[in-house]
Chain A
Amino acid sequence: MSKLLISPSPHVHSVHSTRSLMRDVLIALCPAVIVSILLYGLPFVLILAVSIGASVLTEYLIERYILGRESTVSDFSAAVTGCLLALNLPPCAPWWIAVVGSVFAIGVVKMTFGGLGQNIFNPAIAARVFLLVSFPVIMTDWAVPDAFSGATPLGAIAEGGAAPVPGFKELFLYKVGGSAGEASALALLAGFVYLLVRRVITVTIPVAVLGTVAVFSGILHIVNPELYTGPLFNLFNGGLLLGAIFMATDYVTSPMTVKGQIIFGAGIGLITMLIRYFGAYPEGVSFAILIMNCTVPLINKYCKPRRFGEVRK
């Protein structure tokens, strides 16, 4: 008689795995990474390689030699953190900044809480803020060495040295300056579409963040256009798209129901704009995400899914 397999149902599984989801996030980040490499050349390649390498190595060493357990680096989550951190740094920052940031992101923010799935804060965002308050000069030095800026292919295509007029190109296609990953709205949106098509994330959080920013800045802009920048400027400048699409949607540090995700996203949008308009820092996306990360356990506790058969209140 043949030996039959016995187990409880279900007997089949979807194609998704943690590894496949993380791999999809890396693929979705590719357009932004490519634009940054074209714009900033070798210095950014170095930052990217060091960030990913240091993140993965930190996780591996801690799991193997401190926790003494099987390493989980093959799930690509550390690589995603490294890649996101690189995109959050000035493109030509010194390489050791990437090392410090990666060790902090993985070693402190992720592993001290128990590793993947247990951390409260998004590791890449927390590391960026850590670096920003520890090395404020380096972290706000957006200067790009001439030797590289002039040599990048995209830079060469650009109109020869004329003062940039803020327009469609700057807002949407690409611009030099700011963190590496902020360069191209188009590249980030392409990644967003990929994540949606692959069903890695849903539209809820990004739409809640961007919608809140648009509405809030829209109202204040109408009240006083001199003082407050408009929605278009706020949506496509700074790290908002990168944050809304790739960092606020981090599974581990965002709420688990649609209702909760709307509150979470709206909170990020609101805090971002409050910091941009009224705060001491010019940019507030990172702080906004970190602050809202703290609220996730509370949101999860009170925002339950609508149960089947439950009457709408």
Chain B
Amino acid sequence: MKKTFKIGGIHPDDSKISSNAAVEQMPVGAEVCISMAQHLGAPATPVVSVGDKVKVGQVIGEPAGFISGFVHASASGTVKAVEPRPDILGNPVPHVVITVEGDEWEEGIVLANDPVPVPELSREEIIDRIRRAGVVGLGGASFPTHVKLNPPKEKKAEVLILNGTECEPFITSDDRLMRERPTGILTGAAIIMKALGVDLCYVGIEENKPEAIASMTEAAKNCSGIVIVKLAKKYPQGGEKQLIDAITGRQVPSGALPIDVGAVVQNVATAYAVYEAVCKNKPLISNIVTISGHSLASQHNYEVRIGTPVSSILEYAGVTLGDNVKVLSGGPMMGRCVSNPGATTVKANGAFTILTESETKRGVESACIRCAKCAAACPMGLEPWLLSRLFRAGDRNDELEKERVFDCIECGCCQFTCPANIPLLDSIRLGKADVMKIIRSRAK
């Protein structure tokens, strides 16, 4: 039996058509517009003013709380504006706009591509460097990495798990990173292991990425305590709880955190960012972005400076958007629709997927035939048909809570699999919001 998680899951067409597109550097544009809300938690406070000259890697936003993060200039030039601008979803967020002039970097940042050995640092020094480099979880949640590496005293990490599953269809940025820069990822892993005080690290990679498995396995020969684990292809294996289950067989209980079963999960791209932060003194100012879609003439992986407009990346990739297409930030299962392509990239943007209307059209809803495919597909062991029915009946929040609507990770397996085209996840999301309101009012 191939390793995978035990409950539910689906097998969507993985559409990894961009896997052979090697990472290309996308040139910096005339302007970058950098969001202050690139991490979970409070947005950073801008510390530059209009007219200031900034260098690449210079701090332009400082954390506004414990769960917050540093933000750095991704290009050198003059600050043109510090103001709220709509993000890709259309929500206004504070941004720092820089008119790009030259490519001048902060001192002390190592720009050479050659591997740099890990400096002798204490655990606290490592975590501080990661924090000062503005590293956040690049798997999608953007949780500040330094917080995750600082578990509460009474909880002990036993194992680090690197997430190289990339189970979302279309996306190949992690695949390319693992193929092209395995040593950096594993050096980052070793640094995180030191910070956590663990001597075991598993890297989970799905079997549809044989080249990544080969290159990571080869690189891991020089590392002690790092094991590359080949996993079956099944969505949503990249879910934190599913990945821990697949690799260790431990299931994080409802409402608990991975650390409660001794695990800390980091994305491979996060580990690479940690390597650059600690060994090269380089803050997180760029990321690898997949541009993919069956309707596109060519597929791409670009290393893009943070704060680049989505429209510029699409233009660079030769994509002309027609009417009635979907541009997704992320993949087709959990990605969010870009409503404002003029907005700019943030740290956690790993892909933009373009779907045509026919690829993404929702079918007409019909009656539930109680086939239970949704329940069989749910990786959390929930009954989506029941949750959706309770929500639609109205005023059944107690039952929704009892049926553990909060365990839903919004992976979309239920809705994907429903033969009656019932918008199960739409209802469940709304149900979660209702129950959340009740829990909040109870706490008061």
User: Could you list which residues of chain A lie within 8 angstroms of chain B, going by C-beta atoms?
Assistant: 2-14, 16-18, 20-21, 72, 75, 77, 115-118, 251-252, 256-257, 304-311
Contact = CB atoms under 8 A, between A and B. Distances in A.
Interface string B381-416: 111010000000000000000001001001010011
A309 B256 contact: yes
A2 B254 contact: no
B165 interface: no
Contact of A8 (B254, B338, B381, B425): B425
Interface residues of B, number: 64
Given A9-B412, A309-B256, A4 B421 contact: no
B241 A308 contact: yes
A307 B425 contact: no
Interface in B98-118: none
26 contacts: A5-B357, A6-B326, A6-B339, A7-B337, A7-B362, A9-B332, A9-B334, A9-B335, A11-B360, A12-B12, A13-B421, A14-B10, A17-B421, A18-B366, A18-B420, A75-B366, A116-B366, A116-B367, A117-B369, A118-B367, A251-B372, A307-B380, A307-B381, A308-B254, A309-B252, A311-B253
Nearest to A77: B369
Contacts of B341: 4
Nearest to B11: A14
B124 interface: no
B425 A256 contact: no
Given A9-B335, A13-B362, 13 more contacts: A8-B429, A10-B332, A11-B332, A11-B355, A13-B421, A17-B420, A18-B369, A18-B420, A251-B369, A251-B371, A307-B254, A308-B379, A308-B407
Contacts of A16: 373, 417, 419
A9 B369 contact: no
Given A4-B325, A308-B407, A14 B417 contact: yes
B254 A14 contact: no
Given A9-B333, A13-B362, A251-B371, A4 B339 contact: yes
B337 A256 contact: no
B363 interface: yes
Contacts of A309: 241, 251-254, 256
A308 B370 contact: no
Interface in B313-352: 321-328, 332-339, 341
B7 interface: yes
B359 interface: yes
A117 B334 CA distance: 29
B325 A5 contact: yes
B309 interface: no
B332 A310 contact: no
A17 B420 CA distance: 6
Given A12-B169, A75-B366, A5 B335 contact: no
B368 interface: yes
Contacts of A307: 254, 380-382, 404, 407
B269 interface: no
B426 interface: yes
A24 to B, nearest CB: 11
Contact of A12 (B369, B372, B383, B416): B416
Contact of A3 (B252, B324, B335, B429): B324
A10 B251 contact: no
Contacts of B339: 4, 6
B366 A72 contact: yes
B419 A20 contact: yes
Contacts of B324: 3, 5
B231 interface: no
Contacts of B369: 18, 21, 77, 116-117, 251-252
A229 B7 CA distance: 41
A5 B360 contact: yes
Given A18-B419, A251-B371, A10 B253 contact: no
B375 interface: yes
Contacts of B253: 309-311
Nearest 9 Cβ contacts at the A-B interface: A10-B412, A256-B372, A309-B253, A117-B367, A307-B381, A251-B371, A309-B251, A2-B321, A12-B332
B382 A12 contact: no
Contacts of B359: 12
A6 B375 CA distance: 27
Interface in B225-277: 241, 245, 251-254, 256
A308 B383 contact: no
Nearest to B327: A4
Contacts of B385: 256
Interface centre among A75, A307, A308 (most CB of B within 10 A): A308
B326 A11 contact: yes
Contacts of A252: 369-370
A305 B414 CA distance: 14
Contacts of B383: 256, 304-305
Contacts of B420: 17-18, 117
Contacts of B327: 4
A212 B378 CA distance: 29
